[in-house]
Amino acid sequence: MIPADFIQDLLNRVDVVDVVGRYVQLKKGGANFMGLCPFHNEKSPSFTVSPTKQFYHCFGCGVHGNAIGFLMEYQGLSFVEAVKDLAQSVGMTVPEVRLERDSGGRPKVDKAQSTSLLEIMAAACQFYRKELRAAQAAVQYLKGRGLTGEIAAHFALGYAPDDWRPLAQVFSDYEQPLLVEAGLVIAGDNNKRYDRFRGRVMFPIRNLRGQVIGFGGRVLDGGEPKYLNSPETPLFSKGSELYGLFEARQAIRERGFVIVVEGYMDVVALAQLGFPNAVATLGTATTPIHVQKLLRQTDQVIFSFDGDQAGRKAAWRALEAALPHAADNKQIRFLFLPPEHDPDSYVREEGVAAFESQLSQALPLSRFLVSHLQNQHDVGNAEGRAHLLYDAKPLLLALPAGALRLQVMRDLAQITDSAPAEIEALVGIKPNGVRPGAARRSSKPVSRRLVSSNIERLVVLLLGHPDWFARLTHPQRSVMLQDPALAALLAVVDGLSSATSPTLASLSQHLSDQPAGIDWQPFLLQAASADTLAESELEPEISGALRNIERQQLEAAREQLAKALASSQQLDAEAVQRFRQLEQQISALKRMAPPAV
């Protein structure tokens, strides 16, 4: 894990205006900068970036965050990748630099080795591209698939010569272990080495930074395997990567959806034919990580599969992977082409308009799920309906609680002659959407009021003016510590480095990492969009809110003590004295502060 102090220091050094400005044309508008939102289509700017608060917010689609969050959303990076990108831009070194994808037993590598592997992959890619120019058979194959030189260059296509050790021309030390580690060279019996890719058209697989992390190779003759992928390496994991995602990012945003196909050539051919928003899995079934990556780029995913049995089986696996991410504001759909066609051949034979029509008619996830279950069982008898509900149970539990799951349950209820409430009971879903036994901490926190408007107001004021945390007096902190939400906020601030002052950006990052309970997002948004108050306005606001909170706490204590005294059969002198003290303190606060809101 990257230390919290480093994250805070990083956010203090970067300027969110500069980070966003790399990708969005911003114009000064008062104290903030404005531009067209990069996350949804709009004609009038509703996207604002605050240099004072180091925060961005779109009033159109609601997206918001700090510099780290922007890179994660815009480039589809993981948290660690976004931190590393920002750190590099300001000359900082991330304290922990080991790669994330090491759970499958692949060796962890340090930063120097990771850089070396990327350099090796880049050199191999350049070599393959150069070799393609002289490989007439490969060039003719690509031309026969209707590809132009421009599209081949866009995807950096290449050719691996049909020889045992062509990469020895590139790497003088062909025996170096990193060539094996990168997946380019195989060490056989007696450590005899030879190139993994030979006599194949090469498709570089790039990460979201455009760095080559793996290759896919297609054989030209009738050899097997037809497609060969890089093995699992410290840089590359088939279950995490998607071919063409780097090249398709901008088109995905512009068109508002992504097409997921089954092969490299489908991606390249569709781009040639006017569909540059296509990606492909890498010879493996769709995984939840794939779906998560795609939904970072767009709210609409269309899986395109062959209409035969194998294609429908692959589509069902994709549905299972997508279920945990099928939120109410996302669309996941499935397109089944005629068995004799893949996307490339369909567009060439039927035309662009026909394929667009097919895309528009793709099956929604809910309809595919219900129809698949219905086709698998005889719902004409009780046993068939019962078996259908048995198979539906894990699928319903995988769906997030929300309107979509409710609609699916209603559809299932109709075809099984059941009531939605009966299905909820059978599956084990409570009416409020929480499964019995599920820990509430693991569910997404619900946006709710923080006990009183005084507390809400104080939270927004302190988030918007975080330098004020250091100016809180001991009595004021004592008041805050008596409220769970305010105590949690203080704990986050106290956990930050004292070397630098907290900012709204750093606080938003750390509050998002807190266990579920309070949804801080509405208050972060209010703080980001509110005007910065002058000192003469701020001090009375914060002090007044704290006095009102303290008075409410004292009034609650007085009420509790009064009930205890009323129910007691023997007069407690100490309790009576405490009651009088509370009365005096409340009266004093009433004279100092305006009435509570």
Q: Give the tens place of pLDDT for each residue, 550-596.
A: 888 888 888 887 777 777 666 677 777 787 888 888 888 887 755 44
- Give residue-wise pLDDT tens across range 424-475: 998 887 655 544 444 333 333 433 344 457 888 888 888 888 888 888 888 8
CB-based burial of residue 103 (10 Å sphere; 0-12 exposed, 13-18 middle, 19+ buried)? Answer: exposed
The span from the CA of 89 to the CA of 291, in Å, is 29
The span from the CA of 544 to the CA of 306, in Å, is 66
| Token pair for 152 | 């081949």
406 vs 296: which has the higher pLDDT:
406
Range(s) within the chain of domains with CATH label 3.90.980.10: 111-229
CATH architecture of 453-592: Orthogonal Bundle (1.10)
497 pLDDT above the threshold of 80: no
Lowest pLDDT segment from 161-170, 398-407, 494-503: 494-503
Q: For the chain, what is the largest distance between any 2 Cα atoms, rounded to a whole number of angstroms?
A: 104
**Per-residue model confidence (pLDDT) at position 1:** 56
CB-CB contact of 482 with 557 (8 Å): no
Q: Tell me the sheet residues that pair with 260.
A: 279, 303
| Token pair for 104 | 């499958």
The span from the CA of 97 to the CA of 154, in Å, is 31
106 pLDDT above the threshold of 70: no
Under CATH, which number does the domain 245-369 receive? 3.40.1360.10
Range(s) within the chain of domains with CATH label 3.40.1360.10: 245-369
159 pLDDT above the threshold of 90: yes
Q: φ, ψ for residue 139 (rounded to 5)?
A: -65, -45
Under CATH, which number does the domain 4-89 receive? 3.90.580.10
Rounded percentage of the chain residues whose pLDDT exceeds 70: 87
**Looking at residues 408-427, what average pLDDT do you find?**
93
Q: Is the peptide bond before 225 cis (omega within 30 degrees of 0)?
A: yes
Rounded percentage of the chain residues whose pLDDT exceeds 90: 39
**Looking at residues 34-51, what average pLDDT do you find?**
85
The span from the CA of 478 to the CA of 472, in Å, is 10
HEC states along 559-594? HHHHHHHHHCCCCCHHHHHHHHHHHHHHHHHHHHCC
Range(s) within the chain of domains with CATH label 3.90.580.10: 4-89
Q: φ, ψ for residue 213 (rounded to 5)?
A: -120, -10
**Distant-in-sequence, close-in-space partners of 333: CB < 8 Å, separation ≥ 6:** 300, 301, 302, 303, 362, 363, 364, 365
CB-CB contact of 249 with 261 (8 Å): no
CATH architecture of 111-229: Alpha-Beta Complex (3.90)
Q: Tell me the sheet residues that pair with 200.
A: 160, 219
CB-CB contact of 141 with 201 (8 Å): yes
Sheet holding 27-29, edge to edge: 27-29, 32-35, 47-50, 55-58, 64-65
**Looking at residues 251-257, what average pLDDT do you find?**
90
Range(s) within the chain of domains with CATH label 1.10.860.10: 453-592
